[in-house]
């Protein structure tokens, strides 16, 4: 697995269109609110040209890229936490995602009504962010009720957790997302954040959904979203969802030519992957064992035994060493054998941190 991303936003901002562009799936799309009732799920391959260049040299029977999962849920509206629209009932479907893609409408199409009546990215972002905060507050309040009951009968662990979770409640009541408070949160409180999968503690990627005519220049709405993202320490990607959905329909051989004609260098999926990996501090390493070449996704700073554990738990338990070839060395020399002959295969132990692009062979014994 690469990473799992939840797609959120107001109704009619282009979430399902974007989902189709990213996954080449067929989520229902229409110009009225709440088209998406059940969450749309899509799994896509992570585009990494390094994987295929390795395969050209190794010539395996099978090439296995890392994958990315998208979850597209119903649009949120003002007062969703109070039951407006479809309420926030679908937020549970994105509690276990790694990151959130917040789609913001920056296109002016009059035939697609805006749920708030007029285009205003700042207001739209505030509405959705407030609903996420209120959803996290509801989760905390339920937990506090349970902890209070346990604390009254002398449960010491409950008393400690109550103190830490009350700190989180205070931040949320101030209108702050938990991710913005992480530098002020101790290790125990951070553990509770992971345990309860709070929505506002997840990294956010803002997606400015634009008109086809504004691909090369930023309109005022895009500039506003970019400013908000910068202030929050988040990232922003500008995408024309409609155009990318049409692009996804094309055969792969025509896709690049179409992109070049539009003056674009990459698809929206590539932008998503790159920025998603960045905000989650993810890297890729490769294995060439047996009949396949495969890409694996890990957190930056992961040590060799734990990286081996991504492949199989036995490999982590019985880890002996890792044999490392740098991607650049393999491409330059043309084969693994040539790298061996030139002394470019390094032997690393359990303290080695796997680097992005490493080609790894793990030695282990169970």
Which domain CATH number covers 45? Answer: 3.40.50.300
The residues, any chain, with a CB within 8 Å of residue 155's CB and separated by 6 or more, are none
How much is the pTM? 0.83
Q: Is the pLDDT of residue 249 over 90?
A: no
Q: Is the pLDDT of residue 20 over 60?
A: yes
Per-residue pLDDT tens over the stretch 35-47: 445 677 888 888 8
Question: What's the confidence (pLDDT) of residue 40?
Answer: 77
Same domain? For 305 and 271 the reply is: no
Per-residue pLDDT tens over the stretch 269-287: 788 788 888 888 999 999 9
pLDDT mean over 171-194: 86
Same domain? For 321 and 269 the reply is: no
Same domain? For 322 and 179 the reply is: no
Same domain? For 350 and 272 the reply is: no
- Structural domain of residue 305, as residue ranges? 301-364
Question: What's the confidence (pLDDT) of residue 28?
Answer: 43
Same domain? For 218 and 345 the reply is: no
Same domain? For 272 and 326 the reply is: no
Question: Looking at the domain assignment, is residue 54 inside a domain?
Answer: yes
Q: How many domains does the chain have?
A: 2
Same domain? For 274 and 305 the reply is: no
Same domain? For 128 and 233 the reply is: yes
The annotated binding site for ATP is made up of: 12-17
348 versus 157: the higher-pLDDT residue is 348
Point out the least confidently predicted range of 71-85, 107-121, 342-356.
71-85
Point out the least confidently predicted range of 15-19, 38-42, 82-86, 307-311.
82-86
Q: Is the pLDDT of residue 350 over 90?
A: yes
pLDDT category at 32 given cuts 50, 70, 90 is very low
Question: What's the confidence (pLDDT) of residue 29?
Answer: 42
Same domain? For 262 and 316 the reply is: no
Q: Is the pLDDT of residue 80 over 90?
A: no
85 versus 192: the higher-pLDDT residue is 192
Question: Looking at the domain assignment, is residue 208 inside a domain?
Answer: yes
Same domain? For 187 and 305 the reply is: no
Q: Is the pLDDT of residue 171 over 80?
A: yes
Question: What's the confidence (pLDDT) of residue 120?
Answer: 92
Question: Looking at the domain assignment, is residue 293 inside a domain?
Answer: no
The annotated binding site is made up of: 12-17
pLDDT mean over 209-231: 88
Per-residue pLDDT tens over the stretch 100-128: 999 999 988 777 777 777 889 999 999 99
3-state secondary structure the chain: CCCEEEEECCCCCCHHHHHHHHHCCCCCCCCCCCCCCCCEEEEEECCCHHHHHHHHHHCCCEEECCEEEEEECCCCCCCHHHCCCCCCHHHHHHCCCCEEEEEEECCCCCCCCCCCCCCCHHHHHHHHHHHHHHHHHHHHHHHHHHHHHHHHCCCHHHHHHHHHHHHHHHHHHCCCCHHHHHHHCCHHHHHHHHHHCCHHHCCEEEEEECCHHHCCCCCHHHHHHHHHHHHHCCEEEEECHHHHHHHHCCCHHHHHHHHHHCCCCCCHHHHHHHHHHHHHCEEEEEECCCCEEEEEEEECCCEHHHHHHHHCHHHHHCEEEEEEECHHHHHHHCCHHHHHHCCCCEEECCCCECCCCCEEEEEECC
């Amino acid at each position: 697995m690469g990473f799992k991303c939840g797609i959120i936003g107001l109704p009619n901002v282009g979430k399902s269109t974007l989902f189709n562009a990213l996954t080449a799936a067929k989520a229902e799309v229409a110009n009225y609110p709440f088209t998406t009732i059940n969450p749309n799920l899509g799994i896509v391959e992570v585009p990494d040209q390094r994987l295929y260049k390795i395969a050209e040299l190794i010539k395996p029977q099978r090439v296995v890229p890392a994958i990315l999962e998208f979850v597209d849920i119903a649009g949120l509206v003002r007062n969703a936490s109070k039951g407006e629209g479809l309420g926030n009932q679908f937020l549970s479907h994105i509690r276990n995602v790694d990151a959130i893609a917040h789609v913001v409408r920056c296109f002016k199409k009059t035939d697609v009504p805006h749920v708030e009546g007029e285009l205003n990215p700042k207001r739209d972002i505030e509405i959705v962010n407030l609903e996420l905060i209120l959803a996290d507050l509801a989760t905390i309040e339920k937990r506090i009720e349970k902890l209070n009951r346990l604390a009254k009968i002398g449960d010491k662990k409950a008393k400690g957790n109550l103190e830490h979770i009350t700190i989180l409640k205070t931040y949320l009541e101030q209108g702050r997302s938990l991710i913005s408070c992480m530098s002020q949160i101790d290790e125990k409180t951070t553990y509770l954040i992971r345990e309860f999968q709070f929505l506002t503690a997840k990294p956010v990627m803002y997606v400015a959904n634009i008109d086809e005519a504004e691909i090369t220049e930023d309109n005022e709405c895009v500039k506003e979203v970019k400013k908000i993202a910068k202030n929050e320490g988040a990232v922003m990607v500008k995408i024309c969802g409609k155009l990318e959905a049409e692009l996804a329909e094309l055969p792969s051989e025509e896709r690049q030519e179409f992109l070049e004609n539009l003056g674009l260098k990459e698809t929206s999926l590539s932008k998503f992957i790159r920025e998603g990996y960045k905000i989650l501090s993810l890297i890729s390493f490769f294995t060439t064992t047996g009949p396949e070449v495969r890409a694996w996704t890990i957190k930056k700073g992961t040590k060799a035994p734990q990286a081996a554990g991504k492949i199989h738990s036995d490999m982590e338990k019985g880890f002996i060493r890792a044999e490392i070839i740098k991607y650049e060395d393999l491409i330059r020399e043309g084969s693994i054998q040539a790298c061996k002959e030139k002394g470019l295969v390094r032997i690393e132990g359990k303290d080695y941190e796997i680097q992005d692009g490493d080609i790894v062979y793990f030695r282990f014994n169970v």
